[in-house]
Amino acid sequence: MKYFKSEDDKLIQYNIETNVYKIRNTIKKGQVLTQEDFEKLSTKQIKKDEFSRLMNIYFKNVKHEWKYEYSDFRKMDNFEEDNYSLSKNYTLGRDIPYHIIPGMEWIGKVLLVYHWGNIYYHTISYNGYQQGQLIHPTTHELVRWAKLKHCSPVFNIGTKKIC
């Protein structure tokens, strides 16, 4: 992968294997750029760490609502980290319910979270490591690692409950 930032603050990820450019700092899905569109932009290549830092800044304050299976959801404010890489603005297990992933009970309790425009299970912490694993909710594949402070709870607008 290669990462770029445009003058108009678009964060673009280029997949070398598929030759696809995607605008990543957007809540709209499928923001694919053609080679010609990419070349029209004034961009500079940035490192993966800088790309991730800028993505976290963008998604920290973004407002996002969506429909899923006839229910309305929205992203809440991000978790604020305490000294133990846990949440100081939500009480885990009380404000934010724990979940058990069917077929993966050995992982233990996880949270359902919003991260960079997608929904995942978050393992909260991994053997004391300050990041947790993000797990795809239907395939149960490990997608990436993320600190809890770069995620937010998911709110069901209809039931007025946090998922």
Q: What is the pTM of this model?
A: 0.84
For residue 128, with 0-12 CB atoms within 10 Å meaning exposed, 13-18 middle and 19 or more buried, which class applies? Answer: exposed
Model pLDDT, residue 129: 72
Nearest CA to 55 among 103, 9, 8? 9
The neighbour count for residue 144, using CB atoms within 10 Å, is: 12
Per-residue pLDDT of the chain (163 residues; tens, 9 = 90+): 999 999 989 999 999 999 999 999 998 877 899 899 999 999 999 999 999 999 999 999 889 999 888 899 999 999 887 766 578 888 888 899 999 998 898 988 999 999 999 999 999 875 667 788 999 999 999 999 999 889 999 999 999 999 9
Separation of alpha carbons 128 and 36, rounded Å: 46
Strand extents, DSSP E, 47-110: 65-68, 71-75
